[in-house]
Amino acid sequence: MGKKAIIIGATSGIGRALAEQMSADGYTLGITGRRVALLDEIKGTLPSETFIQQMDVTDTEAAAAGFASLVKEMGPVDLVIISAGIGHPNPGLDAALELETIETNVSGFVVIAGVAFNHFKEHGKGHIVGISSIAALRGGSIAPAYGASKAFVSNYMEALRIRAVKKKLNITVTDVLPGFVDTSMAKGNGMFWVAPVEKAAAQIITAIRAKKSRVYITKRWRLIAWVLRILPEWLYAKS
């Protein structure tokens, strides 16, 4: 039987590119996002069987119910990719912007990761992929809640990986840490090594096939990650 995947946040950017490439590869897909008109439009262009579910991950109860209703339509799935995420430069530390980031990237992530993990536990196997960020590695002065939310995401995925090992569950968890990818989210100055979204998606799919625990996108960002980890704070503050 062909493989089935749900992509949370597939109306644009990385999630949409993953949907396009995985559909071409024969995956049956469940795609979600808030913009239902885009979900309809994308469904019309994808070559494989596709189910759509409008979902705002910040409405956590409705998001869990939306996930359950997708699974009911599709049957058990093999893979859940959580790409939904936002980030705002926040020079004034506007609380509303910080909280919106936390509700989407933290609360929204937790609710979907939880229902996906329990779905895979029930069905004996599965694979969760979360799109974190290089921003997870250090505090980010321009968008503090963004980096902190991604640190949460990466830490949470490590927790789920260890839980799966301890409970002897056949559940893979892949933490994806992109640098800059050319999507509507990546705006502003000071960007470098910006990857085309198709290239980022292709490398994510390769990492999924290899069942990696952690992957930097594109590969060269592994170098930046290494530097970020060892840089003392006084020097990091000058960057």
Ligand X SMILES: NC(=O)c1ccc[n+]([C@@H]2O[C@H](COP(=O)([O-])OP(=O)(O)OC[C@H]3O[C@@H](n4cnc5c(N)ncnc54)[C@H](OP(=O)(O)O)[C@@H]3O)[C@@H](O)[C@H]2O)c1
- The residue ranges that bind ligand X (CB under 6 A) are 9-15, 33-35, 55-58, 83-87, 104, 108, 131, 133, 178, 180-181, 183-186
Q: Please, which residue, 11 or 172, has the CB nearer to ligand X?
A: 11
Q: Which is nearer to ligand X, 133 or 174 (CB)?
A: 133
Give the contacts of 99 (CB within 8 A, at least 6 positions apart). 145
Q: How far is it, in rounded angstroms, from Cα 65 to Cα 23?
A: 24
> In whole angstroms, how close is the CB of 202 to ligand X at the nearest point?
14
Q: How far is the CB of 133 from ligand X (least distance, A)?
A: 4
CA gap 93, 140 in Å, rounded: 12
Please, what is the minimum distance in Å from the beta carbon of residue 116 to ligand X? 15
Return the number of the residue (35 or 211) whose C-beta is nearest ligand X: 35
Nearer to ligand X, 30 or 87 (CB): 87
C-beta of 166: minimal distance to ligand X in Å?
27
Give the nearer residue to ligand X in terms of CB position, either 60 or 123: 60
Cross-strand pairs, 79: 5, 127
Closest approach of ligand X to the CB of residue 222, in Å: 14
Q: Is the CB of 25 or the CB of 56 nearer to ligand X?
A: 56
**Cβ 186 to ligand X, closest distance in Å?**
4
**Which among 89, 104, 96, 97 has a CA at the least distance from the CA of 8?**
104
- Cα separation, 68 vs 218, in Å, equals 33
